[in-house]
Amino acid sequence: MSPTALALVQDLRLFLPEVILVLTTLLVIVLDVTPVRKSHRALLYLTFCGLLLSGIYLLRHYVDLRESGGRASSSNVLLFGNSIALDPFAVYFKGLFLLVGLLTGVLSIRYKKLNPAGEGEYCVLLLCSTLGLFLMVGSRTLLMAYLGLELVSIPSFVLAGFQRDSRLSNEAALKYTIYGAIASGIMLYGMSLLFGLAGSLDFAAIRHALEGQTELRASPLLLSVSMLMILAGFGYKIACVPFHMWCPDVYEGAPTPITAFLSVGPKAAGFGVILRFFYQSLSTHSGGGDWTPIVDQLQWPIVLSVLSVATMTVGNLAAVAQTSLKRLMAYSSIAHAGYLLMGVVVLSKDGIFAILFYLAVYVFMNFGAFLFVVFLHDLVGSEDIEGCRGLGWRAPFPCIAMAICLFSLTGLPPLGGFIGKFYLFLGVIGRELYWLAILGVLNSVVSLVYYARVVKAMFLENIPRGEAEPLPVPFFYSAAFAVLVAPILLLGVYWAPLVKLARYSSSIFGA
């Protein structure tokens, strides 16, 4: 074998979690046309197996990286001609994505609106999207970032419109597609300009090229334009303010499990790729886990901090007026993109760490809340706050679980969400961005208004006449709520292990 082919085989061994996802996808496609698919949910369980197997190999990578000495060169393995990085940062995110994929599958089990005949396609699209998330967080070149982003986007366009006979689902899919295509088109144009300026697609090489060009540093207009255009594509994925318009409509129209997937998976991957791109291409590492913007005149952290404040404010203020639970959660997820952006602007290892920590808690909080939406639709037939009225007395356990998720999203102690927000604000204060911290805290107070409105409807409002008898809660929901809420409660009192893991995973990019 030639040396190149040998290197490729070597790389493929380090690419096993992704390869397993691809093989599972192919297996599901083949089995979808055989009689196997007639048996109950077989393909969905096969998908679970694929995700778990991929997780086992991911764990092995994690252990290998740990043993090979933490930081240095050995833990920054680059695959396929430096286009994909396998570092603790990527492995951490991939673990989250596997969890997101599994939980999306769990939510789909009882979601009645999904057509059982389309189960194979549903699983295939979910697996492809998960693979795209994997590629996004590993990307080290503009090309790979674009490919990963599109591999997430295109299957999720279809997933958003999966209920073909529902007008709302179709509308959500078209809006998502048009906005997505525009955002990625603008991002692509920005990437082409950056490619022209720096002469390379590689993040690290872009930084070297930009550092060397004095005339560019003197007038960084073109660089600013290309940066803002690239931000349009990434901002669309995390739903931050000027690029958030699709979010409420798509979240409301899409099937609820897919809404839950979109609210966590692509958002987390968007932050992964933003951190990689902005920290590796547009910043210089100044030692001690701190970065500075590469060009003095291009203060992109200020741009991002303004976007961060705008995002959380718009999200929180718009959420107050919502009556649909899914729409409320959409605005809540926009607001959370704002909080998480605070971790990006501080340009320090503490910021990366806070984002990683918060995202892990966010997975459980958000999936808990969306599980409640599925539950409500399944047993009460509503997806509105109105449908929760008095439910706290008819089905106490799911409602208490939902209340815990909502209070954790607000950031109240002693829940996991509080610890996550605490670290985010700590990073901001460490950089002496007091105005940002104050606005963030004020926003959290506003968010309490609408989260508490749901809790109030559940526990403090009168039960509608004639519906006073207790609701029989299927075991599935009790178990699922318990699994999702336990980590939120646990992380509120004993968060040291996750801190250790997130700290280790945030030591990347030569810091």
Partner 1 sequence: MSLLDAYPLQHYLLVSAALFALGIFTLVARKNAVAMLMGVELILNSANLNFVAFSRYTVGNFSGHLFAIFVILLAAAEAAVALGIVIGIFQNYGDVDADALDGLKG
Question: Which is closer to partner 1, CB of 187 or CB of 352?
Answer: 187
Question: Which is closer to partner 1, CB of 191 or CB of 307?
Answer: 191
Contact 449, 320 (CB under 8 A): yes
DSSP 8-state secondary structure symbol assigned to residue 259: H
Provide the sign of the torsion angle of the four alpha carbons 183, 189, 195, 201, taken in this order: positive
Lookup: tokens for 362? 């966010």
Q: Report in angstroms how near the CB of residue 189 gets to partner 1 at its nearest.
A: 5
Q: Report in angstroms how near the CB of residue 164 gets to partner 1 at its nearest.
A: 6
Instruction: Of 375, 365, 377, 321, give the one whose Cα is nearest residue 339.
Output: 365
Q: What is the SS3 string spanning 293-325?
A: ECCCCCCHHHHHHHHHHHHHHHHHHHHHCCCEH
Question: Which is closer to partner 1, CB of 55 or CB of 270?
Answer: 270
Question: Which is closer to partner 1, CB of 250 or CB of 309?
Answer: 250
b/e map of 214-247 (b: 16 or more CB within 10 Å)?
A: eebbeebeebbebbebbbbbbbbbbbbbebbebb
Q: Report in angstroms how near the CB of residue 224 gets to partner 1 at its nearest.
A: 16
- Phi and psi dihedrals of 68, rounded to 5? -80, 15
Question: Which is closer to partner 1, CB of 254 or CB of 356?
Answer: 254
Q: Report in angstroms how near the CB of residue 409 gets to partner 1 at its nearest.
A: 20
Question: Which is closer to partner 1, CB of 12 or CB of 168?
Answer: 168
Q: Report in angstroms how near the CB of residue 165 gets to partner 1 at its nearest.
A: 7
Question: Which is closer to partner 1, CB of 186 or CB of 361?
Answer: 186
Q: Report in angstroms how near the CB of residue 180 gets to partner 1 at its nearest.
A: 8
Q: Report in angstroms how near the CB of residue 259 gets to partner 1 at its nearest.
A: 12
For 65-98, give the DSSP string: HHHTTSSTTTTSEEETTTTEEESHHHHHHHHHHH
Helix (H) or strand (E) segment spanning residue 395: none
In angstroms, how far is the first alpha carbon of the chain from the final one? Answer: 37
Question: Which is closer to partner 1, CB of 96 or CB of 273?
Answer: 273
Residues that bind partner 1 (CB under 8 A): 142-143, 146-147, 150, 153-154, 157-158, 161, 164-168, 170-175, 177-178, 181-182, 185-186, 188-189, 191-193, 195-196, 199-201, 248-249, 252-253, 321-324, 327
Q: What is the SS3 string spanning 476-487?
A: HHHHHHHHHHHH
Q: Report in angstroms how near the CB of residue 188 gets to partner 1 at its nearest.
A: 4
Cα 131 to chain center, whole Å?
14
CB atoms within 10 A of CB 150: 18
